[in-house]
Amino acid sequence: MTFHYRFDIFTAICIFLPLFSHAQETKPLFTMDFSKQEDWKPSETVRLQKDGDTPFLRLQAVEPDKHVMVYRRFYLPTTNRPAALRLTARIRAVAIEHGRQNWNNGHLILKFKDNGDKEIKPVAVDSQFNGTTDWQNIDKVFKVPANASYLEIMPYLLQAKSGSMDIARLDIFAATKDNLPKPPPIVASSKMPSLDKAPSPLHVNGNRLVDDNGQEVWLQGVCIDSLQWTAGGEHILQSLQVAIEQWHANVVRLPVTDEFWGGRGKWQSDKGLRYRNLVDSVIREANSRGAYVVLDLHRFKSPQEEHAEFWHDAATRYANQPGVIFELFNEPHSIGWAEWKTAMQKLLDTVRQTGANNVAIVGGLDWGFDLTGVASGEYVLQDTAAGRGIVYSSHIYPWKFQWDKYVLAAAGKHPLFIGEVGNPRRWEDFSFIEESARKEKVGVESVWPKDVIGVIQANRLNWTAFSFHPKCAPQLLEDWNYTPTPFWGVHVKEALGGKIFDAKTH
């Protein structure tokens, strides 16, 4: 049998265009090239050398315990922004002896930062080097955060005692979400045993939360932070006791992350066991004192597959515990209402499929503030017949305005939860807020705290003030003696103690 093959321009395009496209896709977005002496200022600790025909940059620890570093910035493209980046580098260690701490050695560190030069955690890459090695090929893919402006690239001898670190080449490529490494699966939880002491089960009735006797339950409390940034927590159980017994909170909001829950944090080696047990302890201690716990998945922008995985496990663990409420996602933003509804409905469905009928909290758009799509009725979620209902959440800060339109318009139809609300000490602590949004006076002279608490009270909105931690702004606490801050904490403590404020909307 004879095959006739006609090679024409169309055939050529079909053959070579994919090759050309692939070549375009694999072109680096950024390169650290060590072939040009003029690009690098030589010094005693940083200089260009050659290994045969291969030029490389050497970082040399000339004195013990000193910092030796080179620094470059890669600004992310404003159009065709990649969902992920891929780092490839060729590095070797030469007689690196660590300094006073085990991490005082060679590092290749990549950090994302936002427009305000604030670091976005977690660190994208931190590869470490010790002793003497042959040339190593580094190849890592990492996610680009939504609010990232640029990537810091730092080859670094971090107070090493001696030795050198050599870099032959470093490239940054565009990558897709499909290229990201798949996290290890969460070790499945077993259901938490029923507690001897627990507050009354809640369900939604109209625009209120009620217990099984039909009596309204008005949730008022604080947000106890730290489990969103450290797997060990900071003064969590002590703060819980003070919040309930001294500040008279009947609810605490507990931010957690899927990363720590699954044991995927940098320093976790127990697959999340201690973290989940600590959350159990918070629930047990709060519920035994008659207070509810809002389990807040403290993530931003839009729910992803890993967030559904988290809720499948967490909902299984706390299914139908009467003192546990599920806040499905902290602060959605930079998406439309249609995408919001699809993503949030998926998280809710994931929870209900486990058999967990706990009350669910769902935050609005614009970093949790905007509930207009809910107020219109067009984007409300659908609960199951067995579900105990949906509460919609808003976050209110002094740079958010028109509360009537964006928040209170939904309060006539649905119970609302103001999951975060707070008055900063000073605007300088919130440099990411544009000057045009700084219309309110903040600090001790501000009337804003009394106004917002008054509106919350007048509408009987459920709420947890942010933040019951002395270093997480806007702080309710001055210190770990639980001294209330004069610009925010004193007002919240008074309100939780029963003081009524005048209602003024903004």
Q: What is the pLDDT of residues 36-81, one digit of tens each?
A: 766 777 788 999 999 998 899 999 999 988 999 999 999 999 888 9
Query: Is 110 in a helix, a strand, or coil?
Result: strand
Residue 165, strand partner residues: 59, 93
pLDDT of residue 3: 35
> Could you tell me how many helices (H) and strands (E) the chain has, helices first?
11, 23
pLDDT of residue 13: 34
Query: Is 34 in a helix, a strand, or coil?
Result: coil
Cα 280 to Cα 192: distance, rounded to the nearest angstrom = 8
Q: Which residues of the chain register pLDDT less than 70?
A: 1-25, 37-38, 505-506
pLDDT of residue 38: 66
pLDDT of residue 267: 86
Q: What is the pLDDT of residues 205-257, one digit of tens each?
A: 999 999 999 999 999 999 999 999 999 999 999 999 999 999 999 999 999 99
CA 281 to chain centre: 23
Cα 413 to Cα 457: distance, rounded to the nearest angstrom = 17
pLDDT of residue 103: 84
Among 214, 251, 218, smallest CA distance to 500 is for 218
Environment class of 358 (CB within 10 Å of its CB; exposed 0-12, middle 13-18, buried 19+): buried
Query: Is 131 in a helix, a strand, or coil?
Result: strand
Bridging pattern class, strands 119-129 and 106-113? antiparallel
Among 208, 224, 214, 256, smallest CA distance to 420 is for 224
Bridging pattern class, strands 162-175 and 84-97? antiparallel
Delineate the domains of the chain, giving CATH numbers in brackets.
27-178 (2.60.120.260), 202-496 (3.20.20.80)
Cα 439 to Cα 442: distance, rounded to the nearest angstrom = 9
Q: What is the pLDDT of residues 457-488, one digit of tens each?
A: 999 999 999 999 999 999 999 999 999 999 99
CB 452 within 8 A of CB 488: no
CB 174 within 8 A of CB 82: yes
Query: Is 486 in a helix, a strand, or coil?
Result: coil
Cα 409 to Cα 371: distance, rounded to the nearest angstrom = 8
Query: Is 51 in a helix, a strand, or coil?
Result: strand
Among 503, 254, 293, 379, smallest CA distance to 392 is for 379
Within 378-447, where are the H helices? Answer: 403-406
pLDDT of residue 21: 37
Assess whether the previous peptide bond of 149 is cis (omega < 30° from 0). no
Q: Which residues contact 177 (CB under 8 A, 6 or more apart)?
A: 83, 84, 143
Cα 424 to Cα 385: distance, rounded to the nearest angstrom = 42
Cα 33 to Cα 396: distance, rounded to the nearest angstrom = 48
SS3 content of the chain, % helix, strand, coil (to 5): 25, 30, 45
User: What's the full length of the chain, in residues?
Assistant: 506
Cα 175 to Cα 231: distance, rounded to the nearest angstrom = 29
The token duo for 161 is 């005692």
pTM of the model: 0.77
